[in-house]
């Protein structure tokens, strides 16, 4: 084995979270300015995981139950056919805030899988990496749709339907988003479980909401491809309202969405599991600074700017 490093981007869900778990389409994009990194180095003895951000160092063989870092490493070693791997230390770090960040779990797992593959002389295709990371997502989420591991492993904007091959989608004109962290961590497993309980209680009402969210995702894909991103704002705000009806908004999210809109955002919505976590706001070069200031003043813990770039093949 050789020393090797790998990284993976964060992600945002543009449209379709939660409904995607029930077969509706969703759109997601990578966020390159936040990254998870993993480095594998030969060691004198044992297999060690060092998670710098949370100040933990432990043996791969003795993690807490459902430890996603250990699961990612074990799955990668299995895939490499290494029942007895040589001794190594695996160091992971992430600039994506845990449990409220854009795809932090899947990004860390992706970086681990890639770094271990590289340390043993292999480079796996995005589909292979995504499939391994999906297994670790199951530990975290219970019933993940697979969108996080897909968008992060492919590192490009994707149109995603559960159980189908992801389709990279064309972006006809670039658009700018602010990602604001409510500062309130919210494990996706909890909100996904609550939506499931709601759906079991009131299947018809929830199906109508899921379908309405799916229709927004289809409409949004057309606008993005056609290079008309400004029109996305209204769809984002509508998607946010539907997520509220699913029960996954929160007072913090409502305050920040309203602040973004008052300050001139074209639209805003929660992004990801909800009940805290992050929201995205659609801005222009003229409104970005004002909306960012308004979000900070309304209590956002952190605001990141990201641009969804025009894809080379588009228009
Ligand atoms: O909380 P995040 O950013 O990992 O996003 C979860 C997206 C959900 O649709 C709520 C769950 C899923 O598995 O698709």
For residue 16 the two structure tokens come to: 């379709």
Q: What is the number of other CB atoms lying within 10 angstroms of the CB of residue 190?
A: 17
pLDDT at 52: 80
Q: How far is CA 154 from the centre of its chain?
A: 12
Please, which pLDDT band fits residue 314 given cuts at 50, 70 and 90?
Answer: low
**How deeply is 315 buried, as exposed, middle or buried, from its count of CB atoms within 10 A (0-12, 13-18, 19+)?**
exposed
Contacts 24+ apart (CB under 8 A), 238-243: 239/15, 239/16, 239/213, 239/269, 240/268, 240/269, 240/270, 240/279, 242/209, 242/212, 242/213, 242/216, 243/17, 243/18, 243/213, 243/269, 243/270, 243/274
Q: Provide the token pair at 137.
A: 């997502």
Pull the structure tokens for residue 189. 């497993």
Residue 313's Cβ-side half-sphere holds a number of Cα atoms within 13 Å equal to 4
**pLDDT per position as a tens digit, 165-179:** 999 889 999 999 999
pLDDT score of 103: 57
Dist CA 242 CA 260 (whole Å): 18
For residue range 180-196, what is the model confidence (pLDDT) as tens digits?
999 998 888 899 999 99
Cα–Cα distance measured from residue 89 to residue 275, given in angstroms and rounded to the nearest whole number: 36
Q: Which of 11, 12, 29, 141 to mutate to test the pocket of ligand 1 (most atoms within 8 A of CB)?
A: 141
Question: Which residues partner with 73 through β-bridges?
Answer: none
Smallest CA-to-CA distance from 284 within 303, 265, 259, 301 is with 265
Distance CA 102, CA 94 (A): 11
Q: What is the percentage of the chain residues whose pLDDT exceeds 70?
A: 97
* Residue-level pLDDT at 315: 54
| Alpha-carbon gap, residue 35 to 107, rounded angstroms | 7
Identify the band that residue 251 occupies on the pLDDT scale cut at 50, 70 and 90: very high
Give the whole-angstrom CA distance, residue 151 versus residue 166: 8
Residue nearest (by alpha carbon) to ligand 1 atom 2: 272
Instruction: State the pLDDT at residue 99.
Output: 47
- Which CA distances in Å does 251 have to 102, 118, 275, 303? 20, 44, 8, 18
Is 67 one of the annotated active-site residues of the chain?
no
Ligand 1 within 6 A of 188 CB? yes
For residue 209, pLDDT beyond 70 = yes
Q: Which of 50-59, 171-180, 251-260 has the lowest mean pLDDT?
A: 50-59
5-14, 66-75, 209-218, 293-302: least confident range: 66-75
Q: Which residues, at least 6 apart from 85, have a Cβ–Cβ distance to it below 8 Å? A: 1, 47, 77
Terminal-residue alpha carbon distance, the chain: 45
The DSSP call for residue 309 is P
Query: Tokens 């093949």 label which residue?
Result: 313
Of 38, 280, 26, the closest CA to residue 158 belongs to 26
Atom of ligand 1 nearest to the CA of 12: 3
- Picking from 25-39, 62-76, 113-127, 276-290, which range would have the lowest pLDDT averaged per residue? 62-76
Q: Which of 41-45, 94-98, 136-140, 297-301 has the lowest mean pLDDT?
A: 94-98
Q: Is a pLDDT exceeding 60 seen at residue 213?
A: yes
User: Which residue minimizes the CA distance to atom 5 of ligand 1?
Assistant: 272
- Is the CB of 20 inside a 6 Å radius of any atom of ligand 1? yes
Q: What is the pLDDT of residue 97?
A: 61
Closest ligand 1 atom to residue 143 Cα is 13
Helix segments in 162-301, DSSP class H: 188-201, 203-225, 232-246, 251-262, 288-297
Task: Write the DSSP string, 105-174.
Answer: HHHHHHHHHHHHHHHTT----HHHHHHHHHHHHHHHHSS--SHHHHHHHHTS-EEE-TTS--EE---SS-
pLDDT of 172 reads 95
Ligand 1 center to residue 236 CA distance, Å? 16
Tell me if 17 CB under 6 Å of ligand 1. yes
Res. 269: pLDDT tops 70: yes
Catalytic site residue from 53, 67, 148, 181: 148
């Amino acid at each position: 084995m050789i020393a090797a490093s790998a990284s993976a981007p964060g992600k945002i869900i543009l449209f379709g979270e939660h409904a995607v778990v029930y077969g509706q389409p969703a759109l997601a994009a990578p966020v390159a300015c936040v990254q998870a990194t993993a480095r594998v180095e030969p060691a004198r003895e044992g297999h060690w995981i060092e998670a710098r951000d949370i100040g933990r160092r432990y043996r791969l063989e003795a993690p807490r139950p459902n430890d996603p870092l250990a699961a990612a490493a074990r799955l990668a070693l299995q895939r490499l056919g290494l029942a007895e791997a040589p001794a190594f230390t695996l160091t992971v770090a992430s600039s994506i805030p845990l449990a409220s960040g854009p795809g932090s779990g899947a990004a860390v797992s992706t970086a681990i899988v890639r770094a271990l593959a590289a340390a043993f002389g292999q480079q796996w295709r995005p589909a292979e990496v995504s499939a391994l990371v999906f297994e670790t997502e199951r530990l975290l989420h219970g019933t993940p749709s697979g969108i996080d591991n897909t968008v992060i492993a492919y590192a490009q904007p994707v149109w995603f339907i559960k159980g189908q091959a992801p389709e990279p989608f064309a972006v006809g004109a670039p658009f700018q988003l602010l990602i604001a962290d409510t500062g309130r961590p919210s494990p996706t497993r909890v909100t996904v479980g609550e939506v499931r309980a709601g759906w079991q209680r009131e299947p018809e009402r929830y199906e109508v909401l899921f379908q309405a969210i799916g229709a927004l995702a289809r409409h949004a894909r057309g606008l993005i491809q056609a290079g008309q991103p400004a029109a996305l704002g209204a769809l984002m705000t509508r998607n946010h309202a539907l997520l509220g009806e699913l029960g996954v908004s929160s007072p913090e999210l409502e305050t920040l969405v309203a602040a973004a809109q008052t300050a001139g955002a074209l639209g805003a919505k929660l992004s990801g599991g909800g009940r805290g976590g992050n929201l995205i706001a659609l801005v222009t070069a003229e409104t970005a600074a004002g909306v960012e200031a308004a979000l900070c003043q309304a209590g956002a813990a952190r605001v990141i700017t990201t641009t969804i770039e025009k894809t080379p093949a588009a228009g």
